Amino acid sequence: MEALNALNEIVTLLQQNAAKIGITIAGLMVAVYAIAIMLDNDQSPTARTERWAKLKRVFICAAIIAGASAFVSLATGLGKML
């Protein structure tokens, strides 16, 4: 029973901090990819096009993660009001 109580506490903390966690993960994704771009020395037009395509994908994924975590935080807050 102690294990279930501990698990419930962990889930509660994750729900309370979902937006912070999501925004942090999204920021880390962007930072890691920006570092990867800085370390890449290929200056051909094809490589530049690929980098921009990947960067767009990273920003879209980061926005989805941050938005989903903010939605979870909002839903949790609304659930507490009811």
- State which H helix or E strand residue 19 sits in: helix 18-39
Phi and psi for 35 in degrees, rounded to 5? -65, -40
pLDDT in tens, 43-79: 888 988 888 888 888 888 888 888 888 888 788 778 7
What is this structure's pTM? 0.64
| pLDDT of the residue at 15 | 76
82 pLDDT band, cuts 50/70/90, is: low
Q: Residue 9: pLDDT above 80?
A: yes
Closest CA to 58 of 82, 25, 80: 25
Dist CA 51 CA 73 (whole Å): 33
Q: Where are the domains of the chain?
A: 2-81
